[in-house]
Chain A
């Protein structure tokens, strides 16, 4: 077997899928792109504009790893087409820390409480909690209450207990309880 490539055939860089022009704000920055109609939002964020902090764990809307904020609401970006986000305002995990990298109160609480291990579910978990923190409603900070808040996100490493502690620490610090 030889390992040098054969003379290359022309490999197109883009598919011939039908495309639509969309304009939206991502983490405060307005962008316009022509996107394949069937491209889901997670793939768009990750592979078209390089925001790889949003992770894809199941692509059927159950694990929550791809959770982002769309107009302030936590949504599964694997179940959302990029074109559906036209005109929307999106926030991803990359917007959570300060520009200089300083962790947000919520992120800091995860670090303090050992609320993550492999870190794959973490961005989705944080964006989901962020939607609660942004909602102005008084949160139930009992164990059961916090477990309910994070019950849309699967974590396979931590057993959740330390995430519960992290949410409580951050919520108290931010006066959400």
Chain B
């Protein structure tokens, strides 16, 4: 038997091309005669547009077309609300180009198309727009108060959505509490900052009526659906391809951004390919962001530390529009109790319009916020009850024999129940205790304090509902000439290594080398059933769909090979690209099996001869394909999860604060992580490491800042502090593998995991490091050196 590929540290199929610079990102696609788009964007957070004068721009040599909202026909409409939900009334979404009003700095107002981007940008400067600026309120809490300026007149107090979910009987349980801990925490606005900003290119062939769109998106099939709907085109006339995409992290799940409809429009009306390659500033101000939430949490506990109820009220900043619905606050709501039993929950939120770039998911999608709230609250509860932070967690964790643990009454972002399906939470906690050196740390801390040092221990547990439905598909075909497996699925990769892990899954079933499994995804022309890449769902949904398909194709190969080799089905093994009869040297290449199962008229190569009509092997009575039989070795299947599957983990960190520079040093950072069965541990670790770095970024560095007029003031890589290698500490990762019970491969998602607990861990460590000298609390991320400096001087009472 071949070595099992599932679980092996297989190198990635995608790497050689990417390393040689042969990747194909949207802007790399050679489109002869392509024109380039650029946008005039609103310089005001909220204003009335009085007049737009494009005369001079139109006349500039090299400018081909200038579009305002008056020039885009029926596309001048509010774009779709992608995820409708009852708790929103009259949800507001943006128009492709602003009409009458602008709602945030960065909103597209005019599109220029020119022969190159340089001239398009020259033209932007020639466009004259008169605005009447309106009053704005940038503060999230202030925006929700009576009398605050409204982003949309239609929405009093700027409330876009108001939603409460209840599990158990929180009102009754609250009465039984011995102790109540109350805490307010805040997570600030950030942005995904994929190294490749967004990019769209379109080409329209007016003879065939085919529109082809290359889009650096996480959701090519959804973009195809959106474009077909908005333009009134048949789906088969719209092909959307996500080529290599330079990171996504959620921002590229949002669609359509204005350019995703206007670039195709320009290509169709101008008869030339058109490209829009977003620059970094545009990405900072024009593409969706995420994170700001303010949670008011109460934990109701017994003296023993047992938490019997939780109440959380939070505000969620949705920016100027709410195109992605309540996905982010809903995930935060339903993740709010983390890994803890807490049987009674009341969680409610208000999503608030603010005159800022709209909000849609960014890696973590509400989970980092929920984790920060519950973990900071539990630390505080431990403090108030005089308990050890580890111990209070231990007694509240859902025990192994309590799984599956349903939070009756809560509905997850997939519209299904919240059921934490499996895990070994207590074991994970014990592992982190051992690996970080929890026991005995108190002495080290005391010794450090005696030397005037600030040494602290941070701890946080997280859960992550992953692998959300509705479904994904898998299609596999064995190429008759090469014998390679050609695999499709509808979602797409932004660097996660799908092409390798899916190949591993197929390799195990079909006995084909991983590098001979060609995975093509993100092309509606190749396979167009499926959803998108989000919510750490690719391995779960597409992985299982491909696995199910591979089993079907395996069966077809074995049946055909048994026939060809004149052996029993049970004797056939698949190995190294061959079907062979166990214990003999009789074998046949999969290419030959694929060829033989495809009755041919023409012998286009040597192997094909055997499948032609006069060849002995294909002699038969009646039709060449029996009724119900399909040619070749090919199949398709789907996987639709019955609910999300919950990954989890614990982080612990030993931090030291330099009291002079207020820099945070990490002496040790440990991550215990469980994403079910690992298809490729190297890729899993890569996902965790990358998520961890984004977690550190959110914990200590990254924050989108606005001045009081709503101008982003750090919209560049100079001022928005994305960590370099010098800012990211080393991390120890330890795996647990609790198979997911609700999918055939037993896998859980991992894409977002790494970032979730970092903010809470770092805040916990910093507070612990200075608690002997200061009563400062850290309930907000990012934690800046100024906040630490201020904290150091809050004298203990």
Chain A: minimal CB distance from B451 (Å): 23
Contact across chains for A51 and B206 when beta carbons are under 8 A apart = no
Chain B: minimal CB distance from A43 (Å): 8
Contact with B along A133-150 (1 / 0, CB 8 A): 000000000011011101
Contact across chains for B20 and A107 when beta carbons are under 8 A apart = yes
Q: Is B744 in the interface zone, CB < 8 Å from A?
A: no
Known: A46-B28, A55-B25. A62 touches B272 (CB 8 A): no
Question: What is the CA–CA distance of A120 and B496 in the complex, to the nearest angstrom?
Answer: 13
Contact across chains for B20 and A97 when beta carbons are under 8 A apart = yes
Q: Which residues of A contact B683 (CB under 8 A)?
A: 114
Question: What is the CA–CA distance of A105 and B32 in the complex, to the nearest angstrom?
Answer: 36
Contact across chains for B19 and A12 when beta carbons are under 8 A apart = no
B192 to chain A: closest residue by CB: A156
Q: Considering the complex, which residues of chain B in the window 20-56 have a beta carbon less than 8 Å from any beta carbon of chain A?
A: 20-25, 27-28, 30, 33, 35
Contact with A along B3-14 (1 / 0, CB 8 A): 000000001101
Contact across chains for A161 and B15 when beta carbons are under 8 A apart = no
Contact across chains for A15 and B119 when beta carbons are under 8 A apart = yes
Contact across chains for B247 and A103 when beta carbons are under 8 A apart = no
Known: A97-B19, A143-B730, A154-B724. A5 touches B195 (CB 8 A): no
Which of A55, A101, A154, A159 is the most central at the interface, judged by chain B CB atoms within 10 Å of its CB?
A: A159
Q: Is A169 in the interface zone, CB < 8 Å from B?
A: no
Contact across chains for A5 and B269 when beta carbons are under 8 A apart = yes
Say which residue of A13, A126, A147 sits within 8 Å of B726 (CB atoms): A147
Contact across chains for B22 and A53 when beta carbons are under 8 A apart = yes
Q: Which residues of B contact A126 (CB under 8 A)?
A: 19
Known: A3-B209, A8-B271. A159 touches B717 (CB 8 A): no
Contact across chains for A101 and B119 when beta carbons are under 8 A apart = no
Contact across chains for B21 and A58 when beta carbons are under 8 A apart = no
Contact across chains for A55 and B115 when beta carbons are under 8 A apart = no
Contact across chains for A13 and B33 when beta carbons are under 8 A apart = yes
Contact across chains for B21 and A94 when beta carbons are under 8 A apart = yes
Q: Is A92 in the interface zone, CB < 8 Å from B?
A: yes
Q: Is B731 in the interface zone, CB < 8 Å from A?
A: yes
Say which residue of B233, B495, B694 sits within 8 Å of A118 (CB atoms): B495
Contact across chains for A110 and B19 when beta carbons are under 8 A apart = yes
Known: A15-B115, A118-B495, A151-B726. A51 touches B21 (CB 8 A): yes
Question: What is the CA–CA distance of A161 and B682 in the complex, to the nearest angstrom?
Answer: 12
Interface residues on chain B, number (Cβ under 8 Å) = 76
Question: What is the CA–CA distance of A162 and B754 in the complex, to the nearest angstrom?
Answer: 15
Q: Is A50 in the interface zone, CB < 8 Å from B?
A: yes
Question: What is the CA–CA distance of A123 and B28 in the complex, to the nearest angstrom?
Answer: 14
Known: A97-B19, A103-B20, A123-B21. A156 touches B722 (CB 8 A): yes
Say which residue of B115, B497, B722 sits within 8 Å of A14 (CB atoms): B115
Chain A: minimal CB distance from B191 (Å): 11
Q: Is A119 in the interface zone, CB < 8 Å from B?
A: yes
Contact with B along A50-85 (1 / 0, CB 8 A): 111111111110110100000000000000000000
Q: Is B64 in the interface zone, CB < 8 Å from A?
A: yes
Is the contact region of chain A dominated by helix, strand, or loop, or is it mixed?
Answer: loop
Chain A: minimal CB distance from B506 (Å): 21
Contact across chains for A116 and B18 when beta carbons are under 8 A apart = yes
Contact across chains for B195 and A121 when beta carbons are under 8 A apart = yes
Q: Which residues of A contact B23 (CB under 8 A)?
A: 53, 119-120
Question: What is the CA–CA distance of A123 and B716 in the complex, to the nearest angstrom?
Answer: 22
Q: Is A157 in the interface zone, CB < 8 Å from B?
A: yes
Question: What is the CA–CA distance of A38 and B117 in the complex, to the nearest angstrom?
Answer: 12
Contact across chains for A36 and B16 when beta carbons are under 8 A apart = no
Contact across chains for B196 and A39 when beta carbons are under 8 A apart = no
Contact across chains for B195 and A156 when beta carbons are under 8 A apart = yes
Chain B: minimal CB distance from A138 (Å): 20
Known: A15-B116, A123-B21. A160 touches B15 (CB 8 A): no
Q: Is A163 in the interface zone, CB < 8 Å from B?
A: yes
Chain A: minimal CB distance from B422 (Å): 27
Question: What is the CA–CA distance of A152 and B725 in the complex, to the nearest angstrom?
Answer: 9
Q: Is B62 in the interface zone, CB < 8 Å from A?
A: yes
Q: Which residues of A contact B35 (CB under 8 A)?
A: 11
Contact across chains for B195 and A154 when beta carbons are under 8 A apart = yes
Q: Which residues of A contact B245 (CB under 8 A)?
A: 118
Q: Which residues of A contact B61 (CB under 8 A)?
A: 12, 15-16
Chain B: minimal CB distance from A161 (Å): 5
Chain A: minimal CB distance from B663 (Å): 14
Q: Which residues of B contact A146 (CB under 8 A)?
A: 725
Identify 6 new A-B residue pairs, CB closer than 8 A, beyond the known A1-B73, A5-B270, A120-B195: A13-B33, A52-B25, A63-B280, A92-B21, A151-B726, A153-B725
Binding site for B on A (CB under 8 A): 1, 3-6, 8-9, 11-17, 36, 38-39, 46, 50-60, 62-63, 65, 92-94, 96-97, 101, 103, 107, 110-112, 114, 116-123, 126, 143-144, 146-148, 150-164
Binding site for A on B (CB under 8 A): 11-12, 14-16, 18-25, 27-28, 30, 33, 35, 61-62, 64, 73-74, 115-116, 118-119, 192-197, 204, 206, 209, 231-233, 244-247, 249, 268-272, 279-280, 494-497, 682-683, 685-686, 689-694, 716-718, 722, 724-726, 728, 730-731, 754
